[in-house]
Amino acid sequence: MQETMLLGLEGIKKTILHGGTGDIPKLRTGAKVTFHFRTQLCDDDRTVIDDSKVVGTPMEVVIGNMFKLDIWETLLSSMRTGEVAEFWCDIIHTGVYPLVAKSMRRIAEGKDPVDWQIHTCGMANMFAYHTLGYDDLDELMKEPRPLYFVLELIRVQQPSEYNRETWAMSDEERLKAVPILHGQGNKVVQTRTVPRGYAKEKAWEVPWLKLEKMANTLTLNYCQCLMRMEEYYEIIEHTSDIINQHPGTAKAFFLRGKAHMEVWNEAEARQDFSRVLDLDPGMKKAVKKELALLNVRMEEKNQEDRNKYKGMF
């Protein structure tokens, strides 16, 4: 057993429990790190808070992908493959752990890690609900403590060594993937066939649904970028594709309405904004703002037309 300090970082102590092999891997941006972790309190019993081995699935982190507990990237960068090490981390590094653990536990339970959230930051969510849903995490949030992280580094895969899903891509890579994913999603919906590598016993189960949802989400994000680029007709085309498949997608109607407004399609814009209100009353404020802008712009255009044609007849 060898104890060392991670140089240059305050509030961290490392104890190697089992030595690894080879050189310390370089954790480049985009590299995927697979590891087991155990989180323990700094009490006499070393009370276990979370343990990935109990769940039965190791943790995966993509370097540079804004994982909320970024201290883990630092800890892992000091380890060799196969190494098991214990890290004592002071409060300055552990304050956000309860929020991260909440999401990890929900994933382990087969639940959406974010569907519990209001559209605010994690800290605001806690105050909105007064609880994270787990007593031990609530206690840890109220009274932050130093923690022990026992990490076992299983493998490091560089970006070229694995097929990256969209969550592991950079913003630029996601934008490039949009047309491909959107086309795959359309094909899946139309044919009810899952692309090779996604096959299951029933084609309507999770894989094609996830692919379709992913493609549509990326496309809508892409349309927001196109809005800044003033590519309004392309937005209308993409959002119309989604609406044809999923007529209940309020965001698609909203973006298409904005695009119609920009190209002076008043009737179509009003129709889309009206549909948004039917589908999602919570967007009333946003729709009201766009309709007010539409009214102003149409009045300006009508006045311009009146001035242009004044005296012609």
- The CATH number of whichever domain residue 256 belongs to comes to 1.25.40.10
Contact 146, 87 (CB under 8 A): no
Residues 127 and 216 in one domain: no
Residues 81 and 176 in one domain: no
Contact 179, 186 (CB under 8 A): no
Is 270 inside a domain boundary? Answer: yes
Query: What is the tally of structural domains in the chain?
Result: 3
- For every residue of 139-172, DSSP letters joined together read HHHHS---EEEEEEEEEEE-GGGS---GGGS-HH
- Tens of pLDDT along 128-171? 445 788 999 999 988 889 999 999 999 999 888 876 554 445 55
Residues 68 and 142 in one domain: yes
- The CATH number of whichever domain residue 88 belongs to comes to 3.10.50.40
Contact 261, 290 (CB under 8 A): yes
- Tens of pLDDT along 208-244? 455 556 667 778 888 888 888 888 998 998 899 889 8
Which sign, positive or negative, has the C-alpha torsion 296, 299, 305, 310? negative
Rounded CA separation 260/133 (Å): 43
**pLDDT band at residue 123 under the 50/70/90 scheme:** very low
Residues 207 and 297 in one domain: no
Rounded CA separation 46/238 (Å): 54
Is 129 inside a domain boundary? Answer: yes
- Tens of pLDDT along 251-293? 999 999 999 999 889 999 999 999 999 998 889 999 999 999 9
Distance set, CA 225 to CA 105, 154, 246, 263 (Å): 33, 38, 21, 17
Residues 145 and 45 in one domain: yes
Q: Which amino acid is present at 196?
A: R
Residues 153 and 221 in one domain: no
Higher-confidence residue of 33 and 174: namely: 33
- What is the overall mean pLDDT for the chain? 77
Residues 198 and 217 in one domain: yes
Which sign, positive or negative, has the C-alpha torsion 296, 248, 216, 125? positive
Specify the residue for token string 């299951």: 200
- Count CB-CB contacts under 10 A for residue 274: 14
Specify the residue for token string 């949009």: 178
Q: Which domain holds residue 278?
A: 244-302
Is 235 inside a domain boundary? Answer: no
pTM of the model: 0.52
Residues 15 and 132 in one domain: yes
Residue 222: strand, helix, or coil:
helix
Sort 185 into a burial class: Cβ within 10 Å, 0-12 / 13-18 / 19+.
Answer: buried
Is 117 inside a domain boundary? Answer: yes
Residues 12 and 38 in one domain: yes
